[in-house]
Chains A and B, each alone.
Chain A
Amino acid sequence: MEIIEKIKTNKSIDNETEIQKICLNKLQSSPLPNPKSEQWRLSNKSKFSNFLDYSINEKDPKFDTPFPNTSQGTIRLVIGNNCQINLIGENYSIQQLSQDELDKYIKEQISCFDQDENWSNLLNLSLSNTKNILGLKINGSKIPSIEIFSHSSSNALSAKTLVIFLEKNCDVELLQVNLGKENSSLSQSTYFCLDENSCVNHGVVSYGENRSNLLNSLNVIQQKNSEYNLGSVHFKFNYARFEISIKQSEGNAKTNIKGMQITKKDEQISTYTKIEFNGPNGFLDQINKSLADDESHAIFEGTIIVPKIAQKTNASQLSRNLLLSNHAQIDTKPQLEIIADDVKCKHGATISQLNEDELFYMRSRGITLPEASKLQLSSYFQEIISFIPVSKDRWDLLDKLLNEK
């Protein structure tokens, strides 16, 4: 718990920014998340402790992105590596947020933070220096696809922050790739603000190397008539948490989420989602899939909050889970908190093993059991993967990684 000791004494972080000071102060009073809180009770203590064992790394070594060369027309950014960004096309502009804009926005966010729910955000902002915070303002249409990479460095804890403002009527595809290097921890926090009539297809692909850890938090605020589509996959982490908080600030917006986590060996990966409707006519369609093999542990906890003001909300949340081993563990808890009386809300959860009828059908056609299992798993993933905005030629590497034993 090296980081926590340093936060307690506030020794290690030199030249901290005002934001870092605010967050460090908040953490100093209770430097660890409450293990009895709903968000943290299932978290593996020793793995979480491993996350905090590394020293903070403020300067990244040279980073080679694992994907092939950028597809034509794709804009690629690496958090921590970029100079001033000011891209202006015929119908669009992508500009870096000024320090004042960033500080103002982040301070507003911090003022609403809850110590338990936003512990990961507080830690991230305590450790992210100015260089590792990327803020973008995106405007226009026919915007080229954007890829944003975030990565840790071996034997270190890295903290990266991304803030994106999508302006009115903007429509964009954005893929975020979070890479955990061997024996490392990555704290990634992302803030998305969708202005009226804007739309984003957001992909989050997070994967690690040997014994890497990830705390990934995603905070989205949607103005009316905006559409937020999220496709995500998390795999190959010793310990990972994906915390999603989405607020439809005035309702009248659409949110589609398709997420997946794959755990093997003794890994623990969890997804926590909180979707709040703060106005009428909101729409949500969410599916989260987990696949747990060997002695691993996958967790999903989802909350949908529908207050009285959110009449005519239409929300659906489904958790589907596959247990591939007798020693693996899955915990899932989709839940609804509804006050409004004129809504359509449903939720559900299933936990099963590979479908034996499908397996026998494939085997009766000469397909071996491992091949049949692979085909069945691919079909299980397909619904999620097809929702992630990744061009087909980029999937070769991910496909290989997904099928690694």
Chain B
Amino acid sequence: MQSTMKELDPILEVENLSASTDNLPILKGVSLTVYPGEIHAIMGRNGCGKSTLSKIIAGHPSYNITNGDIKFLGENINSLEPEERAQSGIFLGFQYPIEIPGVSNLEFLRVSTNARRKFLNKEELDTFDFEELVKEKLELVKMNHAFLSRSVNQGFSGGEKKRNEILQMALLEPKIAILDETDSGLDIDALRIVASGIKKISNAQTGIILITHYQRLLDEIEPNYVHVMSDGQIIKTGESDLALELEKKGYEWTDNFIKEN
């Protein structure tokens, strides 16, 4: 499987990336390449830089890239605005999806979808056409239509917020989706719904990066590669059995690995 993927051009290349916020270095030389059809998992202790990496790829304005490059479909995107990255096909599923009181979920989804469609030279959808599209996508995450008339994420349970993230992913049809702890706060049933949604959306042309602490999401979605991060660096990369080993031995095992190297 690996060799087939690597015959294609990579979707995402993170090359020796260092970044800081408020002059505090967070990432210290991260390299990662994702090819079409690949699923990567990034694991690591809290504060090791996993979420920061995802935000920097999505273009969060609070972080400065101090060294290295991010390339998306071969183009350097270091200086692109977050909306330009999203329109071109980068999706970040938030660990803590933001509530936006007063903005209807339906309108938010429609404006987002049309921004992406415009980039893809597809016809923008009016409210009626969009309702048809969104109905179909709601099925993927088993969400009730009533969620659309509420404000974005306001009053949603943890599980509903995460399902709303996957609904957005389904509508935006990204080239690469970075899902930051999408499994946190989910019960077993919700986890299965979310995992099933992700599997249905992903295909041989897309890449996925799953940021997680737990094996349980990886039981549902098997990654091609597992990366372990510590102190702003990827310290070990392996295949799916690395996650199992990590689950068994804990992060102390990776501490030993750092000492050895």
Contacts and interface: CB of A to CB of B under 8 A. Distances in A.
Contacts of A363: 59, 81-83, 86
Interface string B161-194: 0000000100010000000000000000000000
Contacts of A362: 100, 108, 112
B26 to A, nearest CB: 16
Contact of B83 (A368, A375, A376, A378): A368
A73 interface: no
A375 B83 CA distance: 15
Given A365-B108, A376-B103, A360 B60 contact: yes
A380 B94 CA distance: 23
A366 B115 contact: yes
Contact of A365 (B61, B119, B151, B168): B168
B153 to A, nearest CB: 9
Contact of B112 (A358, A366, A376): A366
B58 interface: yes
B98 interface: yes
A14 interface: no
Contacts of B82: 360, 363-364
Interface in B81-125: 81-83, 85-87, 91-92, 94, 97-98, 100-103, 107-108, 111-112, 115-116, 119
A375 B172 contact: no
User: What is the interface residue range for chain B against chain A?
Assistant: 20 to 34
Interface in A342-391: 356-358, 360-369, 371-372, 375-376, 378-383
Contacts of A382: 101-102
Find the residue from B62, B115, B116, B172 having the highest chain A CB count within 10 A: B115
B119 A366 contact: yes
Given A380-B102, A383-B102, A367 B111 contact: yes
Given A364-B82, A365-B108, A366-B87, A379 B115 contact: no
Interface in A253-291: none
- Residue among B83, B101, B107 facing the most chain A CB atoms (10 A cut-off): B83
Contacts of B151: 379
Contacts of B87: 366
A90 B28 CA distance: 78
Nearest to B100: A358
Contacts of A372: 83
A378 B97 contact: no
A399 to B, nearest CB: 14
Contacts of B116: 366
A367 B114 CA distance: 9
B172 A364 contact: no
A367 B115 contact: yes
B161 to A, nearest CB: 11
Interface string B69-90: 0000000000001110111000
Interface in A96-127: none
B27 to A, nearest CB: 18
B86 A364 contact: yes
A379 B86 contact: no
B86 A361 contact: no
Given A361-B97, A379-B151, A367 B102 contact: no
Interface in B198-238: none
B89 to A, nearest CB: 10
Contacts of B97: 361
B63 to A, nearest CB: 11
Nearest to B93: A364
Nearest to B87: A366
Nearest to B114: A366
A360 B108 CA distance: 13
Interface in A204-241: none
Contacts of B115: 365-368
Contacts of B81: 363, 369
A253 B100 CA distance: 34
A389 B195 CA distance: 46
Contacts of A375: 100, 103, 107-108, 111
Nearest to B112: A365
A366 B83 contact: yes
A361 B94 contact: yes
Contacts of B61: 356, 360
A327 B98 CA distance: 29
A357 B100 CA distance: 10
Contacts of A368: 83, 115
20 contacts: A356-B62, A361-B97, A363-B59, A363-B83, A364-B82, A364-B83, A364-B91, A364-B94, A365-B112, A365-B168, A366-B87, A367-B83, A369-B83, A372-B83, A375-B108, A376-B100, A378-B102, A379-B100, A379-B101, A380-B102
Given A369-B81, A378-B102, 8 more contacts: A361-B98, A362-B108, A365-B86, A365-B112, A367-B112, A367-B115, A375-B107, A380-B102
Interface of B: 58-62, 81-83, 85-87, 91-92, 94, 97-98, 100-103, 107-108, 111-112, 115-116, 119, 151, 168, 172
